[in-house]
Amino acid sequence: MQPQVVIITGASSGIGLACAYEFASRGAILSLAARNIDRLTEVQHELQAKGHQVLVTQTDVSLEADCAHLIEATMKAFGRIDVLINNAGISMRALFKDADLKVIRQLMDVNFWGTVYCTKHALPHLLASKGSVVGISSIAGYVGLPGRTGYSASKFAMHGFLESLRTENLKTGLHVLIAAPGFTASNIRKTALMADGTTQGNTPRQENKMMTAEEVAKHLYKAIEKRKRTLILTFVEGKLTVFLKKWMPSLLEKMAYNHMAKEPDSPFKKE
């Protein structure tokens, strides 16, 4: 990759943080965004000590003004934008009948509207550079997961938005990538919202058996470099799930129910 300017939201942890290190190692100029400015600043200092150009901006992507400021700050610092990675996101774990609607709204504000706001303000600059818009989605954007109604809804909405954006720009040179990493070892499950909006605190899954965020970042870099349309990682929880969704949806629903019901303290039980 030539010295391209790459914006990464949700860059203080997980996939976003791994992308920061991966893209920096490939020579990219970074504009990192997250709410945790202290952690971002630590990352900035570490990367700058290695000779990388890094801008950090405290950003809550659920606020359009913050997203607009992020884009403006990036343009002021570097004069162009080549890649926007919409990674910031939150999850949930509760049955819809029990969930406060503020939880659903918060997931839509961060996962969907955060992508829309950042993309809207970055789009003129990405069109000028014939750059890439990336949405870090999930298998939950292909399959409605039980106990994750708000999460699946936000990712389905992200998919529809990015697919429409791609079609609108078939002749402009804009590249749009929808990436579904599958279950990845990160803190997204620890910060997942419960029915009342409080954070879960503990992960219900064996994180050490999942794909690492660093592996995901390497796949993302290659997918952007090759200007792929979609990136689906992992076989059983990724590619096979998408296949079954298309050809055996009823079977997949039963499998998804049983799989999610096996989680410790699942909001519903396997029958």
Nearest CA to 86 out of 130, 137, 134 is that of: 134
Assess whether pLDDT exceeds 90 at residue 233. Answer: no
Q: At what angle do helices 64-78 and 114-129 cross, to 10 degrees?
A: 30
Judge contact between 99 and 149, C-beta under 8 A: yes
Q: Specify the pTM.
A: 0.89
Per-residue pLDDT, 77: 97
3-class secondary structure, 99: coil
Per-residue pLDDT band at 188 (split at 50, 70, 90): low
Q: What is the pLDDT of residues 41-66, one digit of tens each?
A: 999 999 999 999 999 999 999 999 99
**All structural domains of the chain with their residue ranges:** 5-245
**Proportion of the chain above pLDDT 90, given as a percent:** 69
Chain-centroid distance, C-alpha 4: 20
Per-residue pLDDT, 176: 98
198 CB-contact burial (10 Å; exposed 0-12 / middle 13-18 / buried 19+): exposed
For the chain, counts of helices (H) and of strands (E): 9, 9
Overall fold of domain 5-245: Rossmann fold (3.40.50)
Chain-centroid distance, C-alpha 225: 18
Please name the helix (run of DSSP H) or strand (run of DSSP E) that holds residue 8, with its range, or none: strand 5-9
Cβ partners under 8 Å of residue 127, min gap 6: 169, 172, 173, 174
Cβ partners under 8 Å of residue 82, min gap 6: 4, 5, 6, 126, 129, 131, 132
Half-sphere exposure of 9 (CA within 13 A, CB side): 33
Long-range contacts of 253-259 (CB under 8 A, 24+ apart): 256/143, 256/145, 256/146, 257/146
Across 127-250, the runs of DSSP E, i.e. the strands, are 132-136, 175-180, 184-185, 211-212, 230-232
Nearest CA to 238 out of 159, 162, 184 is that of: 184
Structure tokens at 167: 């079609």
Per-residue pLDDT, 243: 82
Q: Which residues are bridge partners to 185 per DSSP?
A: 212
13 or 186, which is more confident: 13
Nearest CA to 177 out of 160, 162, 190 is that of: 162
Q: Report the catalytic residues.
A: 151
Q: What is the pLDDT of residues 91-144, one digit of tens each?
A: 999 999 999 999 999 999 999 999 999 999 999 999 999 999 999 999 899 998
Round to whole Å and give the CA distance between 200 and 186. 14
Per-residue pLDDT, 190: 66
Per-residue pLDDT, 271: 47
